[in-house]
Structure 1
Amino acid sequence: MADKLEPYRGKRDPRRTSEPIPEAAPQKGDGGDTFVIQEHHARSLHWDLRLERDGVLVSWAIPKGLPPDPGTNHLAVHTEDHPMEYAEFEGEIPQGEYGGGTMTIWDHGRYETEKWTDREVKVVLRGARADGRYVLFRTRGDNWMIHRMDPPAPGWEPPPASLAPMRPVTRSRAPSGRYAWEFAWGGVRILAYVQGGRVRVQSEDGDDVTAEYGWLRPMGETLGSRAVVLDGEVVALSGVPVYVCYDVLHDDGRSLLAEPYERRRSTLEELAIGGPRWQTAPSWPGRLDEVRQAAREQGLPGVVGKRLDAPYEPGQESAAWIFLPSRP
């Protein structure tokens, strides 16, 4: 019987990588049903789906991860078979080596086979995050796609294709009520749509300006498989453009538009948006005087108060958000 792991070994140097590289050829399995999905931060972020079959892990690289609903198929690149030991592998593959980057286990569990041919693999995944029926099907040559056969989880909604940002009204006096106060940055307003580790950027007018903000690509990779829509501004900090994010409008299949600002803010902080050129904007509930003074000292145009119980109103100029100039 041919050694199924020969292509795998041929791409790896055991002196340089900590990946498991068994010397012996794999023995034909006994119908095992292990699956693993690994998040792979290599040259480009992707997820590796591996299914136990005849003593090896048959593998596909999925650039955008598993599709969350039946309406979208995702590319699945068939790769070489991996050894069974790889089902437990996590670690750093050295740069310059095949697949160089960080590998972590995104999910694992058991699966059931409904169909397995050279052109179609239909399985039921039983994991903590991946749970349901999927089919991998061959298109042209060695190209494959993956399709979710089950309906999406109850309450799941696809992220919006486009939203117009909410805008504050200008006032000369502070409002009464419960508000959180933020800096008015005076930057370029953009919305960032993140899905499958990829970032699509939209201007305030709804234009796709992704190409202008290629430096935001790593931000999408830090969010991994989480699908979110972010609102914020690009501002110059020490002469360097930085995306300052101050709201989240959609999170992993759940619209947050009707949620109060206070709850959206909590979700935003949980995302921990922070990197060399992107950050979460600070927010101070009830501390208008201090924030306004700091805005004056930093030469910012003013401050924005956001009512803690207010929903997000796309495209609206709303009195739930109040702009106050830095100087009364």
Structure 2
Amino acid sequence: MSADKLDTYRRKRDPARTPEPVPAAGPLPSGGNDTFVIQEHHARRLHWDLRLERDGVLVSWAIPKGLPLDPKTNHLAVHTEDHPLEYATFEGEIAPGEYGGGLMLIWDRGTYQTEKWTDREVKVVMNGSRATGRYVLFPLDAKNWMIHRMDPPPPPRWPPVAEVRPMRPAERRRIPRDPGAYGFEFDFGGRRALAEVRDGRAWFYAEDGTEIPAGEHPGLESPGRGLPDLPILFDGQLTGVGDTLAYMVFDVLRLNTGDLTGRTYQDRRRTLDHLKLRGPHWQTTPWFPGDGEAMLAVARERGLPAVFARRLDGTYRPGGSTPDWLRIPVPDAD
């Protein structure tokens, strides 16, 4: 009798405690051996999971830095247990304390062609919306592999940060009539700024794309501990908090090799929350779904100028003003 390829997967998961697919033991489905998925996994440490359909399962590797884009750089790929084919469409929150606990989002999925598949080398051509090109995986030992891009580096996927213009909220006088469709944030005032984080350092850009001199944001050059060592682009406000300057972050637009602007606000905020900014002068703006009137009342008590209302299913439109993002000024006291 052949070994159950999903036995390890099932032993690590309790179907009553995880939203992940846990199929019953039995014959494996047959497919075309041509589906891949890459999932962004906010577990104990952020990483990306590459899964390739092979003989009824998804053969899987955890890649801490995502796919390499330059053939001069190889990335670590940790071989993990085979996953069921149903996992190719899985997104969700795995409960804390469970195996792999954390947020799981699909970063890309598509088809691939196999050029070679042996115990010593897996060579494939991926055809996705983000992941394209020829890659080879090869083992260092039984668990640790490396992944190498065989094609030349792809062209830049997005303009430089200096050419990105923040999305602007539309002004409204009242909370939307369907508040359950929105997430609400405080407008802390201050100066709007994009922050590009690379190699543990931050560069800030004004709304017109000009770089903000370091002297105008003292103490904010380092976002502090906790962020992964990956390029990230944030959107937020440079705001005075007491006697100090803080960067209040309310959105994440790019993460590693991924442009997140096409994701919904709810997914971007979940990603931002899981990044757990911990710098002494960097803070993630709190957000609350549904109860905009209560937010306005708290904003008035705290002397804040306004509340933002952002549609949970709205995307980020650089440089545009959209009714998916509203700014509601705090009304004057009666």
- Would you call these one fold, judging by a TM-score over 0.5? yes
Q: Distance in 1 between matches of 2:70 and 2:156?
A: 12
3-state SS, counterpart of residue 9 of structure 2: helix
Equivalent residue, structure 2, for 1:109? 110
Task: Report the counterpart of residue 78 of structure 1 in structure 2.
Answer: 79
Matches of 1:56 and 1:136 in 2, distance apart?
Answer: 18
Q: Does 1:123 align with 2:133?
A: no
* Cross-structure match for 1:242: 246
In structure 2, relative to structure 1, the CA distance for the partners of 1:72 and 1:235 (3 Å cut) is: farther
Structure 1: 5+ residue stretches without partners:
160-181, 185-190, 254-270, 281-328
**Residue matched to 1:24:** 25
Supply the distance in 2 between the matched residues of 1:202 and 1:120 (Cα, whole angstroms): 39
Do the aligned partners of residues 279 and 98 (structure 1) sit closer, same or farther apart at CA in structure 2, a change above 3 Å counting?
closer
User: Residues 111 and 126 of structure 2 are in contact (CA less than 8 Å); yes or no, is this contact kept in structure 1?
Assistant: yes
Q: CA-atom RMSD, angstroms?
A: 4.6
Amino acid at match of 2:201: V
Query: Are the aligned partners of 2:68 and 2:147 in contact in 1 as well (CA < 8 Å)?
Result: yes
- For residues 220 and 241 of structure 2, the distance between their equivalents in structure 1, rounded to whole angstroms, comes to 21
> Aligned residue for 2:200?
200
* TM-score, normalised with respect to structure 2: 0.55
Q: How does 1:17-96 map to 2 (within 5 A)?
A: 17-27=18-28, 29-96=30-97
What is residue 224 of structure 2 aligned with on the other side? 214
Deviation at 1:243, TM superposition (A): 3.4
Local SS of the residue matching 2:88: helix
Is the Cα contact below 8 Å between 1:216 and 1:278 reproduced in 2? Answer: no
Partners in 1 of 2:27 and 2:92 — Cα distance?
A: 23
Q: Provide TM-score, normalisation by structure 1.
A: 0.56
CA gap of 1:274–1:27, structure 2 versus 1, over 3 A, is closer
- For residues 33 and 200 of structure 2, the distance between their equivalents in structure 1, rounded to whole angstroms, comes to 40
CA distance in 1 between partners of 2:255 and 2:29 (Å): 43
Task: Give the total of aligned pairs.
Answer: 229
Q: Which is greater in Rg?
A: 1
Find the aligned partners of 1:46 and 1:251 in 2 and give their Cα distance: 11
AA aligned to 2:50 is L
Q: Is the 8 A contact 1:4 1:26 kept in 2?
A: no
1:238-317 paired onto structure 2 within 5 Å: 238=242, 242-243=246-247, 277-278=282-283
- Contact 2:66–2:256 (CA under 8 A) maintained in structure 1: no
After superposition, what is the alpha-carbon deviation per residue over 1:109-132, rounded to whole angstroms, capped at 9, x for unaligned? 110000111121110011111111
Taking only the aligned residue pairs, the percentage that are identical comes to 57
